[in-house]
Amino acid sequence: MAFEHVSVMLEETVDLLNVRPGGIYVDGTLGGGGHSEEILKRLGGTGHLYGIDRDREALAAAGERLSAWPNFTALHGNFHDAAQLLASVNVEKVDGFLLDLGVSSHQLDTAERGFSYHVCAPLDMRMDQSAELSAETIVNTWPQKEIARILREYGEEKWAARIADIIVEHRQQQPLRTTGDLVACVDAAIPRAVRNKDSGHSARRTFQALRIAVNDELEPLRRVLMEMTRMLCPGGRLVVLTFHSLEDRIVKQTMRTMASPCQCPPRIPVCICGRIPQVRLLDHLKPSDAEIQQNSRSHSAMLRGCERLDTQWNLDIPE
């Protein structure tokens, strides 16, 4: 199956990155290579672009798509480990980082990956298929309280405890193996009258929560954003495209902290904590109505960015 993915807000994203000829750039979520191809066009054969992805299918497809560009290097791994991956190719400073935190159209549309609640398929949801943890492992082995917690925190699911109860009841009879098994548990937990009033599929929050847990999408994000910013050259930019409120909240808060890091009490007239701004915030953008009409999966997208100031880094990076 061909790796197909429609890059959301393509022009706006790369415009915000402000690509400089001769610069060093990193696409931390390479995917199908759409954003990377546009970056390479603007580099015009100068500088270098490094593309990171944990999905080997994405790496193979993007590698083929971008094979004509000698100034492109693909790296297999998680963008959470971008600093180590770049160090392995002797890169310490970059002019721009791009992160597209959405699930690719290919992953959603490839049934056997288990990301979609519309098709019955194995309960997988791993972006890196060499990883050990899968959605099947979580629903069949994790305690009820822990399943309820991730559904509540990562899916903002009001029926989290009841869904977790039904999952545990189901697995006591037989393990959950497919996405259909999981959808059936959600349907059994949420009253029909409530499901009928839902504007979307009743299982979407549960699937989102499990995907986030399987791929550890949120916990390292604040640390990673700060590490990437520290690696930027003065004037370099960090640009992030998010697709749900949990991600966007972390990105927004982290960028604001780096822009205004002072921790002194408001009544103190002069800063004594010594924390100085590291970035200036850029305008945040949403997709146009025309793009949403052409690609409904773009409707929840939010694009944010910040630009590194010429200051010495003095902020604590979370573990």
Q: Quick one: 41 and 112 in the same domain?
A: no
> Running DSSP on this structure, what letter comes out for residue 29?
S
pLDDT tens figures, 180-205: 999 999 999 999 999 988 888 999 99
Whether 150 is covered by a domain: the verdict is yes
Q: Quick one: 88 and 112 in the same domain?
A: no
Instruction: For residues 174 and 152, give the distance between their C-alpha atoms in angstroms, rounded to a whole number.
Output: 24
Q: Quick one: 233 and 179 in the same domain?
A: no
Question: CATH code at 133?
Answer: 1.10.150.170
Quote the pLDDT of residue 1.
42
Q: Quick one: 222 and 85 in the same domain?
A: yes
Whether 83 is covered by a domain: the verdict is yes
Quote the pLDDT of residue 237.
98
Quote the pLDDT of residue 5.
62
**What angle, 0 to 180 degrees and rounded to 10, lies between the N-to-C axes of helices 144-155 and 204-215?**
100
Whether 242 is covered by a domain: the verdict is yes
Whether 3 is covered by a domain: the verdict is no
196-205 contacts, C-beta under 8 A, 24 or more apart: 201/117, 201/118, 203/117, 204/117, 205/151, 205/155, 205/156, 205/157
> Running DSSP on this structure, what letter comes out for residue 316?
P
Question: CATH code at 236?
Answer: 3.40.50.150
pLDDT tens figures, 6-62: 789 999 999 999 999 999 999 999 988 999 999 999 999 999 999 999 988 889 989
> Running DSSP on this structure, what letter comes out for residue 268?
-
Q: Which domain holds residue 156?
A: 107-215
Pick from 164, 193, 215: which residue ends a domain? 215
Pick from 215, 237, 263: which residue ends a domain? 215
Pick from 156, 189, 215: which residue ends a domain? 215
Quote the pLDDT of residue 103.
75
Whether 314 is covered by a domain: the verdict is no
Q: Quick one: 210 and 226 in the same domain?
A: no
Secondary structure of 40-53 in HEC code, one letter for each residue? HHHHCCCCEEEEEE
Q: Quick one: 164 and 34 in the same domain?
A: no
Whether 194 is covered by a domain: the verdict is yes
Length of the chain measured in residues: 319
Residues in the chain with pLDDT values less than 50: 1
